[in-house]
Chains A and B, each alone.
Chain A
Amino acid sequence: MSSDSTEKESQTLTGWYELFSRGSRDWLRHNEKIREAVRQHLPQIVAGSDIINDGSRTVKVPVRMLEHYRFRLLASGESQGVGQGKAKPGDTLGQASPASGPGQKGAGGRDGGGTELLLEFKVDDVIEWLWEDLKLPNLHPRVGPSDETEWKREGWDRRGARSRLDRRRSMKESVKRRALDANSPTFTDEDLRFRQLNRRRQPTLRAVVFFLLDVSGSMSERDRQLSKTFFFWVAAGLRREYHFVDIVFVAHTTDAFEFSEADFFKVTGSGGTVASTGFAKVREIMQARFDPATYNVYMFYASDGDNAADDRAQAGSELESIAKVVRYSGYVEISAGARSTQSETIQLFQAVEAAGLPCSRHSITGPDDVVAAVRHFFTLESKASAQADNTGVGP
């Protein structure tokens, strides 16, 4: 073969590899696999709580490159090899890094070492993974003043917009007509059928979720961060799943205040813990703006459980009056570890539970528990709905 034809051949080939990189394609697939693998480590991603404060839409997680496994010998305590240079038997060398010769070409190929990557995850993706199969418990339709209307497809007409032409039905009409009269044209305007839209009234789903946070002095910075992380992911998930949900943010020490969302995630406080003030505030807002007769009401309370002992009776009755009207109430206890005795607040919620009202508790002892807590509260529906039907306020 002369080099002329060589020339021609390579000319025709030139370029395709500039349009397409197999390496990049397979690299993207590798990253996709990593993402799948990382999903298994959701707790760690969710615990990266700095996203609450800096408001970024992504989370960065360090991950190892995936290994394509092969049979490999057990790592033995000692390795050996051949080196080259000025050295004689008996010498002890430092940790010289193995250099590789220039211009080497790879044969069958070995695996690239243990390089770490920093992968970026969209917060939206994380929410999606986290909220798979999660729901607000006991959600019931509430017929309120502002019924939603929705356009629904309904029936056919001979006139309509071109985009809603139903070809299948039009064809049927044509076939029917031609069955009666074999000589008629294949298609006439009379055969055309268009899908119609109709406005339908729909029962409204309306819901409000109260986030009540204890920011008293006994809650350490870490405790607050954990509870805010919990609230952050709950809020993000609720917003994604339900466009009609209102969220109300309340924090309390010995007194309670309502906050905007941004302020809520920054709030700090000091002083004692009087849970009844928080519950009272929730009830007050509820009565003023969110009538339980027209709203599905939920309350989640996060605290370290150290309520003032002399507040017990007051808090108990406040909580009970809330628990009676809400669809569901949840208590997240933030603790450093297992306690020997039941905390004040747990006893309050136990009383509510004993009364058969829909509520539940979960404790968070570290960042990895946040996901479990979110899952705990939002997969309860089937369990709790039976109770709710008995006790809840009917529509």
Chain B
Amino acid sequence: MKPDWRSHVPQIEDLARKLGLDFSPVIFEAVPDSFMTEIAVYGLPVRMPHWSFGARYIYQLLQRHMGYSRLFEVVFPGNPGRAYLASSNGLADNVLVTAHVLGHADFSKNNLLFRRCQDQGSAHIIEHAASHARQIERDIESYGFNAVEQVLDAALSLEQYVDLDKPLRREHYPEYVADKPLPPDDAFRSRFATLDAAAESAPTSRKLRAPLPPHPERDLLWFIATYAPEMESWERDIFLAVREESFYFYPVFSTQIMNEGWASYWHARLLREADFIPQATYLDAIKCHSDVVRPVATGEQVALSINPYHLGFTLWEEIVKKSGIESARQIMREDDDFSFLRNHLTREIATEMGLFRYQRQQNGPVKVVAADIEELHESLLLEKYNFGAPRVSVSEVRADGTLVLQHDNQLDGRGLDPERSRKVLEYVKRVWRRPVLLKTVDAAASAVELSADSAATA
């Protein structure tokens, strides 16, 4: 029987509240390592079945076997929040992790992006995801494994294509083009109306059907679920289920550096001020802390990656030191990783941390290149734009039902990988049930049109 870390939880919670953290109650649960791995892979404690998760799961298990990564905890925001702690954590680990979790709980209750998504229902994402999973199990019983898997193949491959600026429950587009208001004083028109013949030929206000979509639509999951010509309603539900889960994942994804940094800042601070923790436990916990926020490269080493915990932690320490905890809380409420890095990662901090930008030609050596601080920001944020996916939107549904997707190669800088894209189009075609096209550019930057058909032999 391990010494019980739970006895420290109320004390740490009290201390955290005293220091100004504002969080919803958190349910702590210790779970086996294999379950931790599953949560990390699926992103949620219960989620729909799909073979791609299985592949990632094994990959994670291998990684863990080789000692590359270790998971201490996963937190789910909400009221109450839920924290899963690895049951292999020691007492000291768990004291630290409890403090860390409270940092996350504070962050997710107050950060605007999180709050917006929670207002849309992601406060209950665990329950919702579990009910999606249950529904999909039922679908498998009713419609067969392969039919359901086909839909999941398509929906999950478009996982990142949601529009966070629109509500989770979105209205359909208006069906007709809004009538243009008549110019107030149109001499010709009024004179025309006085003519006899005009009375007969006067245009009965003919409504003009709006084009579909009226503007490029980047919420592919919603668009397909709503406008696919021949989708079954259970298939649409699967698309919307995946979309709802993406709404939950987005703030987690786009505030990772801030969020982990914030939690690390608070676990360090709570630990320092927690006089009720025995000395030995404290020392172990501090050791664990320094492992978590350790830079990837120390001493003379050089690494081609950064530890987001380290980056976030360093930035928050700096902000609190310079402008105090209140303005730090303000930043925590209002920023996401984009504004956080741009506003607060200064040249001085970057130099102190030893951050550099590198480039590598294909199979060539890695070259460290000079970069001003803006370039460094963009380099760090490059992977974060658009949920980390190329920008693809629906541009048109043709009269024959053909779905036309447009890739924004201007903004992304280059075209799409044609082989992979065709496979995705194949997935989509199976649910859209009409031809599906994708416009992008090839390696030589000339326009190409990809379609699922050309690879249908596979």
Q: Hey, which bits of chain A sit against chain B, CB under 8 A?
A: 1, 3, 6-7, 9-10, 13-14, 17-18, 21-33, 65-96, 98-109, 111-113, 115
Contact = CB atoms under 8 A, between A and B. Distances in A.
Interface in B334-388: 353-362, 365-371, 376, 379-380, 382, 387-388
Contact of A27 (B35, B55, B356): B55
Contact of A84 (B54, B71, B297): B297
Given A29-B49, A72-B416, A78-B359, 18 more contacts: A23-B34, A24-B54, A27-B51, A28-B54, A68-B51, A70-B159, A74-B418, A84-B305, A86-B299, A93-B304, A93-B365, A99-B305, A101-B308, A102-B291, A106-B60, A108-B43, A111-B55, A112-B60
Nearest to B246: A108
Contact of B41 (A23, A28, A82, A83): A23
Contacts of A73: 390, 412-417
Interface in B20-47: 25, 27-32, 34-35, 37-38, 40-43, 46-47
Given A70-B157, A92-B365, A115 B292 contact: no
Contacts of A86: 297, 299-302, 354
A101 B261 CA distance: 13
Contacts of A29: 49, 51, 54
5 contacts: A17-B32, A71-B157, A78-B361, A83-B355, A103-B291
A281 B46 CA distance: 69
A108 B159 contact: yes
Contacts of A81: 304-305, 357-358, 379
Given A21-B34, A26-B50, A80-B360, A72 B6 contact: no
Nearest to A115: B59
Contacts of A70: 157-160, 389, 420, 424
Nearest to B311: A84
B70 A74 contact: no
Interface in B148-192: 153, 156-160
A69 B427 contact: yes
A25 B137 CA distance: 13
A335 to B, nearest CB: 30
Contacts of B301: 85-86
B222 interface: no
A68 B153 contact: yes
Contact of A103 (B25, B71, B418): B71
B41 A106 contact: yes
A75 to B, nearest CB: 7
A108 B153 contact: no
Contacts of B413: 73, 76
A25 B55 CA distance: 10
A38 B85 CA distance: 39
Contact of B379 (A7, A27, A82): A82
Contacts of B356: 82-85, 87-89
Interface string B376-412: 1001101000011110100000000000000100001
B457 to A, nearest CB: 11
B41 A99 contact: no
A202 to B, nearest CB: 38
Contact of A6 (B27, B35, B354, B389): B27
B193 interface: no
A18 B40 CA distance: 16
Contacts of B25: 1
A105 B54 contact: no
Interface in B52-77: 52-62, 68-74
Interface of B: 6, 9-10, 25, 27-32, 34-35, 37-38, 40-43, 46-47, 49-62, 68-74, 80, 153, 156-160, 246, 249, 252-253, 256, 291-292, 294-297, 299-310, 353-362, 365-371, 376, 379-380, 382, 387-390, 392, 407, 412-418, 420-421, 423-424, 427, 442-443
B449 to A, nearest CB: 15
Nearest to B68: A100
**The 10 A-B residue pairs with the shortest CB-CB distance in the complex, in nearest-first order:** A112-B59, A26-B54, A101-B307, A85-B297, A23-B57, A27-B54, A85-B302, A68-B52, A69-B423, A89-B370
A70 B159 CA distance: 9
Give chain B's interface secondary structure class. Answer: mixed
A30 B379 contact: no
A119 B416 CA distance: 32
A71 B357 CA distance: 26
A31 B57 CA distance: 13
A112 B56 contact: yes
Contacts of B355: 82-84
Contact of A17 (B31, B304, B359): B31
B129 to A, nearest CB: 12
Contacts of B366: 92-96
A104 B69 contact: yes
B74 to A, nearest CB: 6
A71 B421 contact: yes
A49 B28 CA distance: 56
Contacts of B308: 101, 104
Given A22-B49, A26-B49, A83-B303, A107 B43 contact: yes
A72 B70 contact: no
A99 B55 contact: no
Contacts of A79: 359-360
Contacts of B249: 107-108
A26 B57 contact: yes
A101 B380 contact: no
Contacts of B47: 22
Contacts of A91: 367-368
B55 A30 contact: yes
Contacts of B37: 23
Nearest to A83: B304
Given A71-B421, A103-B70, A103-B291, A22 B53 contact: yes
Contacts of B43: 106-109
Contacts of B305: 81, 83-84, 98-101
A295 to B, nearest CB: 44
A105 B74 contact: yes
B53 to A, nearest CB: 5
B414 A109 contact: no
Residue of B59, B158, B300, B376 contacting most chain A CB atoms (<10 Å): B59
B58 A27 contact: yes
Contacts of A71: 157, 389-390, 392, 407, 416-417, 420-421, 424
B244 to A, nearest CB: 13
A162 to B, nearest CB: 34
Contacts of A66: 51-52, 55
Contacts of A100: 68-69, 296, 305
